[in-house]
Structure 1
Amino acid sequence: MKTIKSAVIGTLMVPAFMLAAGTASAQDTATTTSTVEATYMTTAPQGTFYADSLTGNNVLSTVEDDENIGTINDLIIDEDGQIQAVVVGVGGFLGMGEKDVAIEWDSLELTRDDDGDDYVIRVNASQDALEEAEEFDRDANHNN
């Protein structure tokens, strides 16, 4: 009988110890997490630009004498805030039949126009190459 009481008491105590340990661990994590206070800007830093400076802009081909080969529809930005690629709408007519192709950021050449007001975006690819490229699937392996 004594053995059964010990086993029952031991069985009841294990979950209690686990609960206490988990609570203590959660409290330790909460006390070591620090909150970074927000900082603010009043102007954009030198050498930066806004996303809308790119979206809606045409992408020109260096292969085909600056022929317009698509329009930037979106940016792919990593969790560190770095642009990884631009999503370019290619093909189609008046927005119908267009497909999205993601071009890696490092593949683009970004310069200013003659006035220095707008960006000119070029890629070393032809219209045909982009139309033959695999379509970008925005929803594949993405939770947002």
Structure 2
Amino acid sequence: MLIKSIAAGLAGTALIATVAFAQSPTATTDKAPTAAAATATTTTASGDWRASKMSGLKVYNEANENIGSVNDLLMDKSGNIKIAVIGVGGFLGMGEHLVAVPYEKLKFVNEAVAYTGAGTNPGAKPAASTTTGAATGTDKTATAAPSGSKWYPDHAVFNASKDELKNMPEFKYSE
């Protein structure tokens, strides 16, 4: 009796499987566009910077002294960046003092900072230029980005010393 049940189950399964294989797919006209059609139009953003790459960007003063790094960029509800949060001092994030500075007071430079040390560094290449001029924020791209741009500036310049930044009120994210 068990053998007859198993044989009937196998026969039924085979019959259902042949019916399923015999059906042909129907063509539908409301298909989603293929991947090739979806990528036919692309957007380019030549010369723009990626916000994700701005975090950690080194900040120098006009004397080419490293005074901190960009920790965060804060924007208003319309998407305009208003404040740069700069981390000053500390080591590996410990003891770091966060300060908020107006974004328009930062000057971004695409060229590397010139080495100004008194000693010699035989392995170092001379930098293309030095960071000079007031950080007025009116010129966000101090030099034209090369065609193979890395999507972020080399560094930012803020007209203050490290001690002046440390003496500014500490920035805290409100809950």
Q: TM-score normalised to the size of structure 2? A: 0.51
Distance 1:56 1:43, change over 3 A: farther
Structure 1 segment 1-144 matched on structure 2, within 5 A? 42-62=42-62, 65-113=63-111, 116=146, 117=150, 118-119=152-153, 120-139=155-174
1:42-94 residue CA offsets vs partner (Å, 9 max, x unmatched): 334344211123111111111xx211111111110111111101111111223
Instruction: Give per-residue Cα distances to partners, 1:72-125, cap 9 Å, x unaligned.
Output: 111101111111011111112232111211111111011212585441200001
Question: How many aligned residue pairs are there?
Answer: 98
Render the CA deviation track for 1:21-59: whole Å, top value 9, x for unaligned.
xxxxxxxxxxxxxxxxxxxx8334344211123111111
Give the equivalent residue in structure 1 for 2:33.
Answer: none
Larger radius of gyration: 2
The aligned amino acid for 1:92 is: G
Higher helix share: 1
Give the TM-score of the pair, scaled to structure 1: 0.61
Letter in 2 for 1:90: V
Amino acid in structure 1 at the alignment position of 2:172:
D
Considering fraction of residues, name the structure with more strand. 1
What percent identity do the matched residue pairs reach?
Answer: 38
Poorly superposed stretches of 4+, deviation over 4 Å:
none
Residue 52 of structure 1 aligns to a residue whose secondary structure is: helix
Distance 1:137 1:44 in 2: 36
Q: Secondary structure at the match of 1:131?
A: helix
Change (3 A) 1:136 1:88: same
Structure 2 gap segments, 5+ residues each? 1-40, 112-127, 129-144
For the aligned residue pairs, the C-alpha RMSD in angstroms reads: 2.1
The alpha-carbon distance between structure 1 residues 44 and 103, as it changes in their structure 2 partners (threshold 3 A), is: farther
Partners of 1:73 and 1:67 lie apart in 2 by 18
Aligned partner letter, 2:84? V
